[in-house]
């Protein structure tokens, strides 16, 4: 029997060892396969003569792309990078081997300011005299806005074009919270600070509706004006087209309306590109995509060691301890990058690219201080993306100069805090709490009971003090030197378009990231420089290891607004440093 057990045990160990080695080989094979599919090396080795830069507008747009290594194996949502598209267009403008640009518009999700950034780069490209051709089966609204700059706008013979105006939609949770027995105890300053409204109302307040209407109208007028110039269609006529729900009109009507130039299938478009490049139909059309062109390129614009750094700050502002999002500005990480740039002698100026709806007021203040310190050493120019609101504006105000897109959402100078009272829910579940404390406020703040009037007064005073600090930071950081009481009339948590922000003195100039780079060059008196993005992109292995540790379902759950509130609590007590929030409504969807 003993001999039998010995053989069984030996067999078991053998099987386990074999399984282990098979697992190692499998992982090694997977890594090798992913490396082959998601390598940082370009798929092509050179730009062929008579090439076309192929820009595919598809998926979700972000400021810059850290490619997920697993996306090569699994069919996930595509992401495109504004940074890469801008770089590719700049290279194509001066590369003699690239004769034209082909915009291949598909289903793409982006905010108006992102669309404007790409469109401005294409407008600059047109100075080269090289043609731009745009084609789509279906043009989404922002894709059409970008494509309208093209020399030839083409749509499929059975295609659709969406030009219907802008709408902003918000979700409201009050009825749901009432049903489950959760009361949101809310403290805020600013009649326009509408980020708290989903927890206390069932629809927009008059103030919220007013500010939303105004910035949507600003953005829409701006976009229609640019389409009008590019397509030679009066703005009033474009308004009338939008009211016809163009998406369901015939493709032929798009041509007669001059919204597009012609109907064609994709094969016909490729023949057109060949003809433009001096090729016959039978010839193969050399095309290079954005990723390959950027990977091939080296910065030959300068032999100088001097740099203008672009420091990207994208996402919600959070402290390291409370970070619940993979797409976030983590206080400690951004501060580390700022300090590196301050010490880096090669960096002569910094463009801080802010694309943030705000977040933790405490973390925003810590970043504000570091940006101010950096300004004392070298020029800092802020370039605002889709959003630079509330905390996003907070971290921008110390800059030497602020540039915003006309369609940027900014301002929202206001503060709020929320503490849920879940006693109604716990009562339903039969859960009770009891506490022993040495002092009156020892258990404050807690989510297990309603706050007393005295506790609420303390919290409101705390929020108002935070608001005064925010006002002071904004007032004395701006070149206009507005006093806090003067700034108060345009603060109150109100959101503004970039157009209005310029009129009010909240920003210094309208334009994209190139405008900010030019200003940084001017302020630093540096004309020969390289443009370098920070934080530096991680290598493939680092991205692979980070990606393997991500639980996608969990991350999606964490993005839920209500879940965020509960994740920020520690044993029923909120992380006090993140209690104050300086952010705009996150659930506004502009479409």
Q: Can 100 be counted among the known catalytic residues?
A: no
Pick the catalytic residue: 93, 193, 348, 500? 193
Give the residue carrying structure tokens 């996608």.
552
Pick the catalytic residue: 194, 319, 364, 390? 390
Instruction: Please answer whether residues 391 and 416 qualify as being in contact, where contact means their C-beta atoms are separated by less than 8 angstroms.
Output: no
Radius of gyration of the chain (CA): 27
Instruction: Please answer whether residues 93 and 125 qualify as being in contact, where contact means their C-beta atoms are separated by less than 8 angstroms.
Output: yes
Beta pairing class for 98-109 and 51-62: parallel
Cα(300)–Cα(94) distance, integer angstroms: 11
- Distances, alpha carbon 54 to alpha carbons 122, 124, 368, 470, 498, in Å: 13, 17, 40, 45, 31
Structure tokens at 410: 């900014």
Cα-based angle 170, 174, 175 (whole degrees, multiple of 5)? 110
Per-residue DSSP letter, 293? H
The distance in angstroms from the start CA to the end CA of the chain is 75
Give the residue carrying structure tokens 């700049």.
90
Beta pairing class for 401-404 and 415-421: unpaired
* Residue 363 CA from chain centroid, whole number: 19
Cα(98)–Cα(91) distance, integer angstroms: 9
Structure tokens at 258: 């001059």
From 407, 438, 424, select the one nearest 117 (Cα to Cα).
407
Count other C-beta atoms under 10 Å from residue 522's C-beta: 14
From 400, 405, 386, 302, select the one nearest 351 (Cα to Cα).
400
Instruction: Please answer whether residues 334 and 359 qualify as being in contact, where contact means their C-beta atoms are separated by less than 8 angstroms.
Output: no
Give the residue carrying structure tokens 């209500």.
562
- Provide the phi-psi class of 166: left if phi over 0, else alpha when psi is between -120 and 50, else beta: beta
Give the residue carrying structure tokens 């900014």.
410
Buried b (16+ CB within 10 A) or exposed e, 149-160: bbebbbbbeebb
Cα(241)–Cα(222) distance, integer angstroms: 16
CA contacts within 13 A on the Cβ side of 130: 24
Cα(121)–Cα(125) distance, integer angstroms: 6
Structure tokens at 90: 């700049």
Structure tokens at 298: 């080296």
* Residues labelled as active-site residues: 193, 390
């Amino acid at each position: 029997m003993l001999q039998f057990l010995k053989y069984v045990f030996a067999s078991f160990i053998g099987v386990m060892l074999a399984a282990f080695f098979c697992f190692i080989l499998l992982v090694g094979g997977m890594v090798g396969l992913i490396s082959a599919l998601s390598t940082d090396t370009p798929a092509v080795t050179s730009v062929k003569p008579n090439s076309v830069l192929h820009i595919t507008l598809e998926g979700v747009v972000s400021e810059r792309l850290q490619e997920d290594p697993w996306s090569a194996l699994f069919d996930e949502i595509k992401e495109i990078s504004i940074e890469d598209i801008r770089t590719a267009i700049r290279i194509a403008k001066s590369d003699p081997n690239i004769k034209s640009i082909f915009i291949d518009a598909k289903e793409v999700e982006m905010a108006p300011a992102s669309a404007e950034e790409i469109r401005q780069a294409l407008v600059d490209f047109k100075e080269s005299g090289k043609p731009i051709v745009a084609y789509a089966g279906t043009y989404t609204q922002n894709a059409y806005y970008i494509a309208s700059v093209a020399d030839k706008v083409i749509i499929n013979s059975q295609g659709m074009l969406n030009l219907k105006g802008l709408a902003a939609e918000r979700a409201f949770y009050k009825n749901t919270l009432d049903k489950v027995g959760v009361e949101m105890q809310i403290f805020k300053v600013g009649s326009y600070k509408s980020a708290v409204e989903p927890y206390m109302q069932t629809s927009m307040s008059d103030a919220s509706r007013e500010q939303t209407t105004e910035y949507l109208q600003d953005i829409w007028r701006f976009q229609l004006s640019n389409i009008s110039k590019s397509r030679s269609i009066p703005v009033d006529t474009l308004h009338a087209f939008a009211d016809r729900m163009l998406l369901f009109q015939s493709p032929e009507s798009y041509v007669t309306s001059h919204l597009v130039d012609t109907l064609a299938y994709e094969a016909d478009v490729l023949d057109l590109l060949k003809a433009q490049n001096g090729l016959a139909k039978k010839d193969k059309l050399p095309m290079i995509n954005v990723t390959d062109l950027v990977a091939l390129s080296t910065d030959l614009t300068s032999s100088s060691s001097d740099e203008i750094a672009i420091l990207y700050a994208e996402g919600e502002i959070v402290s390291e301890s409370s970070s619940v999002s993979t797409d976030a500005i983590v206080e400690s990480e951004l501060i580390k990058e700022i300090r590196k740039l301050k010490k880096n002698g090669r960096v002569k100026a910094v463009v801080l690219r802010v694309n943030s709806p705000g977040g933790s007021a405490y973390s925003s203040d810590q970043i504000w201080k570091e940006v101010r310190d950096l300004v004392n050493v070298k020029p800092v120019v802020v370039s605002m993306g889709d959003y630079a609101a509330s905390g996003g504006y907070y971290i921008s105000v110390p800059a030497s100069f602020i540039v915003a897109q006309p369609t940027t959402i900014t301002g929202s100078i206001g503060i709020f805090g929320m503490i849920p009272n879940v006693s109604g829910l716990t009562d339903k579940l039969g859960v009770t709490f009891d506490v022993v404390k040495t002092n009156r406020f020892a258990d404050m703040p807690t989510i297990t009971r309603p706050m007393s009037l005295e506790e609420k007064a303390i919290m409101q005073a705390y929020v108002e003090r935070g608001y005064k600090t925010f006002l002071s930071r904004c007032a004395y950081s701006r070149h206009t030197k507005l006093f806090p009481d003067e700034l108060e009339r345009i603060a109150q948590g109100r959101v503004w378009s970039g157009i209005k922000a310029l009129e009010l003195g909240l920003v210094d100039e309208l334009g994209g990231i190139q405008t900010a780079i030019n200003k940084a060059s001017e302020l630093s008196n540096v004309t020969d420089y390289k443009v370098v993005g920070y934080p530096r992109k991680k290598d493939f292995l680092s991205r692979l290891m980070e990606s393997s540790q991500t639980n996608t379902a969990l991350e999606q759950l964490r993005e839920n607004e209500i879940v965020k509130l509960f994740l920020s609590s520690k044993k029923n007590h909120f992380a006090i440093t993140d209690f104050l929030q300086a952010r705009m409504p996150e659930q506004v969807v502009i479409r």
